[in-house]
């Protein structure tokens, strides 16, 4: 079966929305049932598709998993490696690799594995880890620009940021849904018009 550009995009966006509405709906039902019994459960979704960057997306998507991974995997590993780098007078690049890159990739490896034991889930998690690392590098570069010379945030920049984030997430969900890496590759190729 030849997958067209249109079919690949519609199928991927449809799956992503189905996953979100299913999971968000189940969470809302759990929150409501909890309230019936006087138990206030934490929110698990907060309009993640409105996120203007990948970090914000993960603060709004599956909040309880994100918080668990951040508190119990990312922070302890990051703290340990940052102390090690500081005690051994590592340079800025080595410090970044040990304090941001390594703990982020480690944490998102576990996010992927938590969703399933297949390579597609692990690659999904690692891809989001790479997205987060790229975002952190982007923030560091932006902070090097003097305050007066930075582009001010406005509606247009927010829409562009949301679109970039949404597209990055869409591509990652191909890995999440595909049964094989080859199948994911075929869908991504079709999405890119190949």
Catalytic residues: 115
- Say how many CA atoms lie within 13 Å of 64 toward its Cβ: 9
Give the tokens for residue 106. Answer: 């480690």
DSSP H or E run through 192: none
Give the DSSP letter string of 126-191.
HHHHHHHHHHHHHHHHHHHS-GGGSPPP-HHHHHHHHHHHHHHHHHHHHHHH-SSHHHHHHHHHHH
CB 63, CB 43: distance < 8 Å: yes
Longest dimension (CA), the chain: 57
- Cα gap 184→164, rounded to integer Å: 20
- Cα gap 85→65, rounded to integer Å: 28
Residue written as tokens 């993960």? 58
- Cα gap 188→115, rounded to integer Å: 21
């Amino acid at each position: 079966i030849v997958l067209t550009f249109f079919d690949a995009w519609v199928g991927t966006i449809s799956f992503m929305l189905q996953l979100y509405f299913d999971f968000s709906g189940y969470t809302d039902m759990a929150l409501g049932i909890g309230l019936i019994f006087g138990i206030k459960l934490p929110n698990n979704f907060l309009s993640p598709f409105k996120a203007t960057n990948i970090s914000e997306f993960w603060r709004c998507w599956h909040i309880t998993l994100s918080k668990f991974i951040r508190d119990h995997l990312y922070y302890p590993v990051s703290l340990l490696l940052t102390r090690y780098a500081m005690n051994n007078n590592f340079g800025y690049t080595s410090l970044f690799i040990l304090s941001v890159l390594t703990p982020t990739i480690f944490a998102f490896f576990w996010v992927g594995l938590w969703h399933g034991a297949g390579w597609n889930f692990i690659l999904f998690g690692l891809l989001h880890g790479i997205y987060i690392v790229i975002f952190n590098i982007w923030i560091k570069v932006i902070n090097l620009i003097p305050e007066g010379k930075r582009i001010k945030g406005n509606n247009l920049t927010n829409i562009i940021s949301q679109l970039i984030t949404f597209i990055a997430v869409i591509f990652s969900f191909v890995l999440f849904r595909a049964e094989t890496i080859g199948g994911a590759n075929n869908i991504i190729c079709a999405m890119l018009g190949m």
